């Protein structure tokens, strides 16, 4: 016990001695206050998140399938319990590995994109965000979907609303159902 105490005291003494005899120190760096993102930055981020959802979830489905994914994102925003922005909806659970959109957790974001399909997703996302392309509720108010080749545990608990391409869409059950 005494040996441990002696080692600690010697270490502290050496550190303090070195600090007191050191030469002039460099000035402390200036810390700037955090700057809130501009409206333009927020709009660009929302566009990127919607583009990613369209691309990674439905790029092989064409515009109809991509619009269906966009509808789910917007229905989730409207529902209020999935996030209040496109990015919040798309990336919900990604930090906990309980992703709502699989591409946010499975490594797809780190893989190279197909240039033409990415460009198409970006263009459609911009057209949706500017109102140039209207979403027509083809999914029947869906807030969930899955690919036809999987059977998630939650599917029987929801109302199936549509099949578009290789995805099946659902919305929550109502008390009338």
Is there a domain that residue 101 lies in? yes
| Amino acid 175: pLDDT | 47
Checking if the pLDDT of 102 tops 60, the result is: yes
User: Over the stretch 105-147, which tens digit does the pLDDT of each residue have?
Assistant: 888 988 889 999 999 999 999 999 999 999 999 999 999 999 9
73 within 8 A of 90, measured Cβ to Cβ: yes
CB neighbour burial string for 49-76, b if at least 16 within 10 angstroms, e if fewer:
bbbbbbbbbbbebeeebbbbbbbbbbbb
| Amino acid 174: pLDDT | 60
Is there a domain that residue 16 lies in? no
Is there a domain that residue 87 lies in? yes
Is there a domain that residue 7 lies in? no
Q: Where in the sequence is the domain holding 103, given as residue range(s)?
A: 39-136
Is there a domain that residue 150 lies in? no
User: Which 3 state secondary structure label does DSSP give 158?
Assistant: coil
170 within 8 A of 159, measured Cβ to Cβ: yes
| Amino acid 80: pLDDT | 85
| Amino acid 27: pLDDT | 57
What's the Cα-to-Cα distance from 114 to each of 4, 120, 124, rounded to whole Å? 61, 10, 15
Within a 13 Å sphere around the CA of 28, how many CA atoms are in the beta-carbon half?
3
Q: Name the pTM for this structure.
A: 0.77
Is there a domain that residue 94 lies in? yes
Average pLDDT score over residue span 88-93:
91
Is there a domain that residue 72 lies in? yes
Is there a domain that residue 143 lies in? no
User: Over the stretch 76-88, which tens digit does the pLDDT of each residue have?
Assistant: 999 988 889 999 9
User: Over the stretch 133-144, which tens digit does the pLDDT of each residue have?
Assistant: 999 999 999 999
Checking if the pLDDT of 157 tops 90, the result is: yes
| Amino acid 18: pLDDT | 39
Residue predicted with more confidence, 165 or 9: 165
Count of domains observed in the chain: 1
Count of other CB atoms within 10 angstroms of residue 124: 21
Checking if the pLDDT of 99 tops 60, the result is: yes
User: Over the stretch 22-57, which tens digit does the pLDDT of each residue have?
Assistant: 445 555 566 666 778 899 999 999 999 999 999 999
């Amino acid at each position: 016990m005494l040996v441990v105490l002696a080692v600690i005291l010697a270490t502290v003494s050496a550190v303090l001695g070195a600090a007191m005899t050191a030469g002039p120190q460099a000035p402390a760096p200036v810390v700037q206050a955090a700057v809130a993102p501009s409206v333009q930055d927020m709009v660009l981020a929302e566009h990127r998140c919607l583009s990613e959802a369209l691309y990674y979830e439905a790029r092989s489905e064409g515009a109809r399938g991509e619009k269906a994914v966009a509808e789910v994102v917007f229905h989730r925003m409207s529902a209020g319990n999935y996030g209040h922005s496109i990015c919040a909806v798309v990336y919900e659970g990604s930090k906990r590995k309980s992703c709502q959109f699989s591409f946010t957790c499975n490594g797809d974001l780190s893989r190279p994109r197909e240039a033409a399909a990415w460009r198409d997703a970006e263009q459609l996302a911009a057209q949706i965000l500017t109102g140039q392309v209207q979403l027509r509720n083809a999914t029947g108010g869906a807030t969930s979907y899955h690919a036809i080749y999987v059977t998630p545990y939650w599917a029987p608990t929801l109302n199936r609303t549509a099949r578009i391409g290789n995805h099946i869409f659902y919305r929550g059950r109502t008390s009338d159902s």
